[in-house]
Amino acid sequence: EQEPYDMELRLIDDDGERRWVRSRGSPETVDGEVVRMRGSVQDITDRKQRQAVLKALHRVAPAIQTEDTVEEVCKQTVEAAADILEMDLCTIMTREGEWLVPRATSSETLPDGSRPMRIDQGLAGKTYQTAESNVVNDTEEVDDVDKAKESYRSGLSVPIGDQGVFQAVSTETGAFDDEDVEFAELLLSHTESALDRLDRERELERQNDRLEEFAGIVSHDLRNPLNVAEGRLEMAMESDEPQEHLEAVARSQDRMETLIEELLALARAGETIGSLEPVELAAVARRAWEASSSCSKTCSGTPSSTARRALGHTLPRTPSSTVPRAVSLRLTIRVPAGAT
């Protein structure tokens, strides 16, 4: 057809290996006849393999990022590393306190081929501390490797953000290169994203639990002075001298308003309640029981607990729900017969 061509072909070489080549050419014509072809043939096997790896990593990313547990995320990652990147001996170690603990290991890893390590121990510790990937071409020439097995001769270590470290090893020297680092970092970026998401979900669940508990506390503590006010109003309506009861209703209303204002201020601040300070529990108890003047009470004891500073003003009005359970306080309450 006397037209230039550019095509990619898959061939089998003399050793029986499949190779990819790119063939380009253009014809030279004389008097409308093709007299020769000019062109080139280029081996593009490496490029094709790179494209295949990138496509495979792209396909596995959604599976990793949608797993519901840390164990499954790590399992999916090491399986992808073994199947796609041909890193048959690999493991993921996540941080637990001051340790990096194996969470998933490839199926071909040797028995006891991965073990817990301190966050500053060996190649894993170095990678975690520096947040940089490391390649060891020959473990016999490096002092700070701390191999789990003597048969390991080269290794690759990649950080997973603050979550932990990915480790791949080989029984041969020089088994890993810059492209291996690049592919591993790409794979583990999805792992880090998935683990960070699970952390956020767990924290959100804890916050929701605390919010639900807090809502119950607020409901209880607002209902307390409201019940007192309702009871005093009934007594006022039946009494020839209602003033005392009406004053108690006013005090209950003041307590409710103050509590609401302080809770709103706390909510608007949006801060975590975490700061603690000593509390006079006897004083707290006295303040709490002011809502019921029909009760006589005696309080004795010494401060032996702490309360959240952010609720410092609210606590005396809500002791039944916000005072920590582990207290040492002798409290005697005497309630006259018929009192509510």
pLDDT tens digit sequence for 54-102: 999 999 999 999 999 999 999 999 999 999 999 999 999 999 999 999 9
Q: What is the mean pLDDT of residues 163-186?
A: 96
Structure-token match 């000019």, residue found: 38
- What confidence tens digit (pLDDT) does each residue in 280-329 have? 777 766 666 664 444 444 444 444 444 443 344 444 444 444 433 333 34
- pTM for this entry: 0.64
Q: How is residue 106 written in tokens?
A: 């490839």
Residues composing the chain: 340
Beta bridge partners of 42: 22
Q: In degrees, to the nearest 5, what angle opens at C-alpha 291 toward C-alphas 286 and 295?
A: 70
Delimiting residues of CATH 2.10.70 domain(s) in the chain: 5-43
> Lowest-confidence range among 124-128, 151-155, 191-195, 241-245?
241-245
Residue 177 has pLDDT above 90, yes or no: yes
pLDDT of residue 270: 58
Distances (CA, A) of 223 to 217, 253, 294: 10, 11, 18
Delimiting residues of CATH 3.30.450.40 domain(s) in the chain: 48-198
> Lowest-confidence range among 78-82, 103-107, 238-242, 318-322?
318-322
CA distance 155 to 170: 6
One-letter amino acid for residue 202 of the chain: R
**48-198, CATH topology level:** Beta-Lactamase (3.30.450)
**5-43, CATH topology level:** Complement Module; domain 1 (2.10.70)
CA distance 126 to 144: 9
CA distance 50 to 183: 9
Rg (Cα) of the chain, in Å, rounded? 36
Beta bridge partners of 47: none
Residue 274 has pLDDT above 60, yes or no: no
Pairwise pLDDT comparison (250 vs 92), residue with the higher score: 92
pLDDT of residue 111: 78
